[in-house]
């Protein structure tokens, strides 16, 4: 199964009828790698007519949906716990990414699997919240001095926390990109346009949900789950356009200096999902074509069916680009040398040498 067939299945479930046993096996492995097994029934509407799927695949999809439903309940419970702590401290917070999708019940939240909960707080509240968490059943990830400095001086978030009783992982952001990045998100505008839900939770408005997901895809070095991000964006934009238009969304991107990223995103959506969005672009066409091809060949899982001859080279290029988006070149070189030397030392002498 190649990328085109996989995308055709997501766009038109009738294509499933053309698959043989090997095709269904390949499809299931791709869905697992992209964390889409539980979402598949909703994306293709096969949850309404499962008879079109082989029995063994129905079993996988249904079992994954049960797990997703349990995780969704846990997310609501964990968000309530986190919000109560913030309210007690007098701290404003917004839930981001997967938690925000879940709380807003967006289309891309159906069947979703969660690895952590992301929140945004104001930078002046970080110390207060961190002290509270450390004293109330949360444990910060243990880091060496270098990694701790990375988080506290260069990054856009604190080291991740884990709740000792529930195992919930919490990422605390104070902005959406590292502070050493040459990009600057208009974080004050994000706060001004927060959306307060009837449930009492607060999340970014729809445009900023899309922007954050786009940042995660196009300005990050790790695109292992990139297709999941692109699918999120596609579904979010479809919902967004029920009340708004792309020109207004582009204005939000441009306000923070992401005009090229918006144009690239539109190119990717048109290529993958046949969206046929048309907007005037000032970005160089050759740059858009090059990076659209690079991401198209990099965001799918490293599986034999989806790889091309240039896959590894383009994945490396996207990796380097992602790091340079997050930090200056000199800091990037220093960071890579440190990480490479530490990794080599571990392989030669084992982990104990750092303990």
Strands 117-121 and 169-173, by their bridges, are: parallel
With 80 as the cut, is the pLDDT of residue 302 above it? no
- Convert the pLDDT of each residue in 247-265 to its tens digit: 999 999 999 999 999 999 9
* Of 184, 215, 196, 186, nearest in space to 92 by CA: 196
Question: How far is it, in rounded angstroms, from Cα 41 to Cα 63?
Answer: 12
Confidence of residue 142 (pLDDT cuts 50, 70, 90): confident
φ, ψ (nearest 5 deg) of residue 283: -75, 140
Locate all alpha helices (DSSP H) within the chain, ordered by sequence. 3-11, 21-33, 37-44, 55-89, 97-104, 126-135, 145-149, 187-192, 206-218, 226-240, 246-255, 259-273, 285-296, 311-326, 329-349
Confidence of residue 353 (pLDDT cuts 50, 70, 90): low
- Convert the pLDDT of each residue in 191-234 to its tens digit: 999 999 999 999 999 999 999 999 999 999 999 899 999 999 99
Q: From residue 219, how far is each of 178, 257, 285, 323 by CA, in Å? A: 11, 12, 19, 8
What contacts 354, CB < 8 A, 6 or more positions away? 144, 342, 345, 346
Question: How far is it, in rounded angstroms, from Cα 240 to Cα 220?
Answer: 24
* Of 1, 215, 231, 9, nearest in space to 106 by CA: 231
Question: How far is it, in rounded angstroms, from Cα 58 to Cα 195?
Answer: 37
Q: How much is the pTM? A: 0.93
Question: How far is it, in rounded angstroms, from Cα 12 to Cα 157?
Answer: 40
Q: For all residues of the chain together, what is the average pLDDT?
A: 92
Q: Where on the phi/psi map is residue 220: left (φ > 0), alpha (ψ -120 to 50), or beta?
A: beta
With 90 as the cut, is the pLDDT of residue 239 above it? yes
Supply the DSSP string of 88-119, one letter for each residue: HHT--EEEEHHHHHHHHT-GGGTT---S-EEE
**Structural contact between residues 305 and 30, judged by C-beta atoms closer than 8 angstroms:** yes
User: What domains, with CATH codes, occur in the chain?
Assistant: 3-346 (3.30.460.40)
Per-residue H/E/C for 273-300? HCCCCCCCCCCCHHHHHHHHHHHHCCCC
With 70 as the cut, is the pLDDT of residue 355 above it? no
């Amino acid at each position: 199964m190649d990328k085109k067939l996989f995308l055709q299945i997501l766009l038109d479930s009738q294509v499933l009828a053309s698959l043989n046993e090997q095709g269904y096996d390949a499809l299931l492995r791709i869905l697992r790698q992209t964390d889409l097994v539980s979402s598949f029934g909703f994306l293709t509407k096969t949850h309404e007519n499962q008879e079109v799927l082989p029995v063994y695949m129905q079993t996988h999809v249904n079992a994954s949906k049960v797990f997703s439903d349990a995780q969704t309940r846990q997310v609501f419970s964990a968000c309530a716990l986190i919000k109560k702590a913030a309210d007690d401290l007098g701290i404003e917070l917004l839930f981001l990414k997967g938690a925000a999708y879940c709380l807003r019940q967006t289309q891309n939240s159906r069947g979703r699997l969660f690895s952590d909960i992301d929140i945004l707080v104001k930078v002046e509240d970080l110390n207060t919240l961190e002290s509270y968490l450390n004293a109330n059943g949360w444990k910060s990830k243990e880091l060496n001095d270098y990694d701790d400095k990375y988080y506290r001086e260069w990054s856009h978030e604190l080291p991740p926390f884990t709740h000792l009783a529930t195992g919930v992982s919490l990422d605390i952001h104070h902005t959406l990109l590292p502070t050493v990045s040459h990009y600057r998100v208009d974080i004050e505008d994000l706060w001004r346009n927060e959306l307060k839900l009837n449930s009492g939770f607060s999340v970014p408005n729809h445009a900023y949900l899309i922007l954050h997901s786009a940042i995660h895809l196009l300005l990050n070095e790790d695109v292992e789950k990139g297709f999941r991000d692109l699918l999120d964006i596609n579904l979010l934009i479809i919902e967004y356009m029920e009340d708004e238009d792309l020109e207004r969304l582009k204005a939000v991107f441009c306000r923070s200096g992401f005009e090229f990223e918006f144009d690239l995103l539109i190119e990717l959506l048109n290529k993958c999902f046949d969206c046929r969005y048309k907007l005037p672009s000032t970005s160089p066409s050759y740059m858009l074509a090059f990076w659209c091809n690079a991401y198209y060949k990099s965001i799918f899982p490293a599986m034999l069916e989806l790889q091309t001859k240039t896959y590894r080279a383009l994945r490396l290029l996207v990796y380097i680009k992602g790091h340079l988006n997050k930090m200056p070149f000199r800091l990037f070189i220093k960071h890579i040398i440190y990480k490479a030397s530490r990794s080599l030392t571990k392989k030669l002498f084992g982990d104990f040498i750092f303990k």
